[in-house]
Structure 1
Amino acid sequence: MSGSVFVTGSTGIVGSAVVENLRAKGQSVIAAVRKETDAASLPPGVEHRVFEFGATDDEVDAALAGADRLFLMRPPAIEDVATYLFPLIDAARRNGIRQIVFLSLQGVQGNRKTPHYAVEQYLKKTDAPYTSLRPNFFMQNLSSTYAADIRERSEIYLPAGRALTALIDARDIGRVAAAVFSEDGHLRKAYTLSGEQSMGYRRVARIMTEVLGRPIRYARPSEKEYLAKLAGDGAPADYVAVQKMIYRVVRWNISALPNRAVRKLTGQPATTMRQFVEDYRNVWS
């Protein structure tokens, strides 16, 4: 009998979508949570276990008991993946995990400075049974990180210039993860996941204007203005540095190319920006 999928980050934007879509496919899930109270946000009936990256070998082995697959994602606060993520990969192999689906990022193969690159290389080096998902920028950034600017000032305040981005709905990443966990043929493969529409933030603002029924504008600050605002709002220096790098990548149009990977892997098209805004409209009300 097939075992369960152990899902790290199970209460986050992507992890919760993985849990939901695995359950929709009838798969058994073990949701990893940092503390017992976090389990309240899980769907009813989902098994959960308290788990922390950096736990002892015995604690990790106990957490993985009964699982035969692992959804692995790096918590944003963890940079030292050798100390905190590599031991979980080792434990997965030690416990007979037959597939590790790793949430990586688009273009990781050309960006050796990212922690995701180190994880992908370790998965290959150890001959782990991996599948890497390399998503583009999330639509959900608009409904989380940048939601307050849109809700309170009716503006998208990002230094993306005139660049295009093929944004992807995190729920589609969950659908893809559930698909590759549920089918054969995905081991030691990497999939770049983008939306099927490539657009600039001026067009995003226009769609939001039409759906929300009030003017939303794309402010288009300079990099200097944007970083100064982050610093003024009290953002940590390392977060400011990451944002600087991210939006330079955007302005170089590295994330502009759409694809049909979601459609190919799930049999359904990627979520459109208009549908996303319809679904999340209450966030900006």
Structure 2
Amino acid sequence: MIVITAPTGNVGRRLLPLLLDSAPARGEALRVIVRDPARLPDAVRERVEVVTGSHGDPAVVDRAFDGADAVFWLVPPDSSRTPDEAYLEFTRPAANALAAHGVGHVVGVSALGRGTPVAGRAGLVTASLAMDDLVARSGVAFRALACPSFFENLLEDADSIRDEGRFTDTVDADRKAPLVAVADIAAVAAGLLLDRSWTGTGSVPVLGPQDLSPNDLARIMTEQLGRPVRYERRAPADLRAALVGHGLDKTFVEGVVDMKRAKDDGLDAGVARTPDTATPTTFAHWAAATLRPAVLAGTR
């Protein structure tokens, strides 16, 4: 039995079809934890066992992990809570349930940066790494998928790319760093969940095919969208003010700002890309297949 948390999220909704294609043939049943089962496609809902509720709820994870051999763990974003609440406190009931039910293997989505000089002051990433330690202490065999920023983050800028030809961030325009498509994260997770010959605890970097700077992204978007796109660097103070203005928890906002500052200080640059850590989806392919339709969707 494989349990999938956050099955309707960015990674989960790409992971589920991969598991549905392979798990039944291996005699593996699938169980999902979801707040709203109606968000699952009908074809998926008919082929999985559904546990309704939040995977931060002790009663829900106790029920869902009963009889489980493996769990895919992903903490959903929650900007109404502090980083420690959003990651550690959310995960604590699951860590207890993993130990209580003797779950063998867990694959979790986490972040790069462990062991770097800035890891302890990286806001949301610091909390995510502490969450990994909490899961590892439950006694399971654990693999943390150590991910950089996602290509999909740029979908938040689709309107400004379309209307103003720009996207923003707080990092230096020429700082190269790894980026990855969520579909590639799902593929790595599926491989680990289906072949559980691994033991112990550790991280699995998921680095995408190449390092890119914001200026590189702007150039590639210009080529793929057929319109000029530029990068505009914003000050951390401006990001902080904008997020607080949207009503986000102030401590969570500081976690975002600290994470962005750490990324500008090289948080994601500490792992070498190898054939084992690289993933195939290029930014150019993603921009053409995913970003371009999102940008053009608002074109009249």
For the aligned pair, the TM-score class normalised by the smaller chain equals 0.7 to 0.9
Residue 244 (structure 1) aligns with: 257
Residue of structure 2 aligned with 1:92, choices 98, 108, 127: 98
Residue 55 (structure 1) aligns with: 57
Cα separation, partners in 2 of 1:137 and 1:9, compared to 1, 3 Å? same
Contact 2:75 2:90 in 1 (8 A): no
Match of 1:157, SS? strand
* C-alpha distance after superposition, 1:48-100 (max 9, x if no partner): 3213134344x433223453210111222263355431221221232232211
Residue 106 (structure 1) aligns with: 112
The TM-score, its normalising length taken from structure 1, stands at: 0.85
Residue 228 (structure 2) aligns with: 215
The TM-score, its normalising length taken from structure 2, stands at: 0.81
Shift of 1:121: 1.9
Match of 1:186, SS? coil
Distance 2:184 2:71 in 1: 18
Cα separation, partners in 2 of 1:24 and 1:112, compared to 1, 3 Å? farther
Shift of 1:233: 5.3
- Give structure 1 stretches of 5+ with no counterpart: none
Contact 1:163 1:256 in 2 (8 A): no
Residue of structure 2 aligned with 1:147, choices 158, 167, 179: 158
2:208 is aligned with 1:191: no
Moved more, 36-45 or 146-155: 36-45
Contact 1:198 1:257 in 2 (8 A): no
- Give structure 2 stretches of 5+ with no counterpart: none
Letter in 2 for 1:199: L
Query: What's the C-alpha RMSD, in Å, of the aligned pairs?
Result: 2.7
Distance 1:65 1:101 in 2: 17
Cα separation, partners in 2 of 1:41 and 1:115, compared to 1, 3 Å? farther
Residue 137 (structure 2) aligns with: 125
Match of 2:96, SS? helix
Match of 2:149, SS? coil
Residue 38 (structure 2) aligns with: 37
Moved more, 101-110 or 134-143: 101-110
2:273 is aligned with 1:274: no
* C-alpha distance after superposition, 1:234-260 (max 9, x if no partner): 555345323311221222133246754
Contact 2:170 2:234 in 1 (8 A): yes
Distance 1:134 1:41 in 2: 32
- How many aligned positions are there? 277
Match of 1:97, SS? coil
Shift of 1:40: 4.3
Contact 1:165 1:257 in 2 (8 A): no
Identity fraction in percent: 23
Moved more, 6-15 or 35-44: 35-44
Residue 70 (structure 2) aligns with: 69
Shift of 1:13: 0.7
Shift of 1:137: 0.8
Moved more, 184-193 or 230-239: 230-239
Distance 1:225 1:122 in 2: 34
Contact 2:5 2:55 in 1 (8 A): no
Shift of 1:272: 0.6
Q: 5 Å matches for 1:160-171?
A: 160-161=171-172, 162-171=174-183
Match of 2:69, SS? strand
Letter in 1 for 2:149: F
Distance 2:272 2:115 in 1: 18
Distance 2:238 2:23 in 1: 48
